[in-house]
Amino acid sequence: MAIFLAIPILGLMVIFQSAVFSQVQLLYGTTDLVLIILVAWSVQERVTTAWHWGIIAGIMASLATAVPAYAIIPTYVVVTGIAIYMRRVFWQRPLLAMITAIVLATLLSQVVTVAVLVINGTPIPVIEAFYLITLPSVLLNLLLAVPAYALMGDLANWLYPETIEI
Amino acid sequence: MNLPRTFQTAALAILIISILLLALGGYLTPISRIAFSPFISAQTWLASRYMAIRDFMTAPRDVARLTQLNEQLEAEVSRLQAQIIELQQQNSELEVLSALLDFARTHAENEYITAAVIGRDISPFLHYVIINRGSDDGLRRGMPVVSSQGLVGRVAAVTADGARVQLITDPDTAINVRIQPSGAEGLLQGSITGDITIETIPQDAKINNGDLVLTSGLGGNYPPDMLIGQVSGVRQSPVELFQSASVEPVVDFSQLEIVLVIVNFRPVNIGPLIPPPEAP
């Protein structure tokens, strides 16, 4: 059930990202809704389908960008791993895990994107890109991190209800 | 005191006429003021009480009626506002389509397909838009995309129902351009910020702000003489081989809604004509 839900939810996020949020810019940075939702889902305690969501998110995102799919899909899988790792490290502070994972995931995805584009011959000034795109993107993603965590928490509680041992 | 009846009548008539004459002459005004004042005061008091009681009795019914009327009017205002917005949107679309039609008429040698911009690349490093026409509509990779103002970009990838268009502002863009009126040629490049510049302009070329930038057609990727923008700044250094220029594009890429794809243009792949580098 949780795996099947990933397709409409992440698909909707890609549509929102492409149609609306890619035009809402801070300097030249934008939010990455798919990444935020993926991280918010992966840091939930009882979620067992995070890896599946990571692969689906990568495939969905690769459909809406010119960044090569061989860079996007592994990046989202690694982002899932980062979120799961943060959940284990900050198991008593899930919101801290979420925020840390968002910062690391955003930095990772943008570094990978820049690296792949530069390797493919696109002239990107790395320092300028870091200040004008990466840092504002991190800030925007952090702004949406808390509401996304709450939303995905509700979804996780609905899909994985807490079992009480008597 | 038994006065004859006629005398009484005459006296009464004289009295009335006298009073009337005095009244007409204004001599009775102080007396009438004093005489009528209590009546007017009493009537005012009574009338005000009556109005208060009548308002009290009828007010609840009026409030309910007014509330209902207000709701109806608010609904009507909302409906009309929505209608205004819809009409403004239609008018805006009509203006864009009219401009595109004018553009297509003035460039009758090309065949166009109209497409709506439905999204943008989700990566902030790239400048692509997604349009709602694809291979089912005859779109192919490499076809130039224009708006009523000028060159927008070219089709970079196609699916059955949609296509991704690389804008001329994309950092990976490289277009051979010609600057008018000097005729100097250069290579137009995009950037991550969306600014476009022309590099490799010969040092001896006379470039000024406001000069037009057009595609030159070299390389075979774009048709010649498509308007791109105007020179907004020139950077020249005697120690460099070339000069460069900033370009202000004529197309407002943030407001891009409808574009035209030139479907009868086939890009030329000159790759096989370029000799491979010789091995050392």
Three-class secondary structure of residue B141 per DSSP: coil
- What is the reported pLDDT for B52? 84
pTM of the entire structure? 0.76
* Token pair 């890896």: residue: A51
ipTM of the complex: 0.92
pLDDT at A86 over 80: yes
Cβ partners under 8 Å of residue B121, min gap 6: A18, A22, A64, A65, A66, B127, B128, B129, B130, B164
* Token pair 């370029």: residue: B274
- Judged by a CB distance cut-off of 8 A, whether residue A15 touches chain B is yes
Question: Mean of the pLDDT values across residues A47-65?
Answer: 92
| Calpha distance A124→A121 (Å, rounded) | 9
- What is the reported pLDDT for B280? 60
Three-class secondary structure of residue B99 per DSSP: helix
The reply to whether residue B126 touches residue A114, judged by beta carbons under 8 angstroms, is no
- What is the reported pLDDT for B108? 75
* β-pair partners for B131: B117, B163
* Residue stretches of chain B with pLDDT short of 50: none
- What is the reported pLDDT for A130? 93
pLDDT tens digits, A5-50: 999 999 999 999 999 999 888 989 999 999 999 999 999 988 889 9
Asked whether the bond before B60 is cis by omega within 30 degrees of 0, the reply is: no
Cβ-Cβ pairs closer than 8 A, A with B, add up to 78
* Token pair 């105007």: residue: B230
- What is the reported pLDDT for B7? 85
pLDDT tens digits, A113-157: 999 999 999 999 999 999 999 999 999 999 999 999 999 999 999
For residue A44, how many other CB atoms are within 10 A of its CB?
23
Of B122, B126, B130, which to mutate for an interface test with A (greatest number of A Cβ within 10 Å)? B122
Which residues of chain A does B164 touch, with a Cβ-Cβ cutoff of 8 Å?
Answer: 66
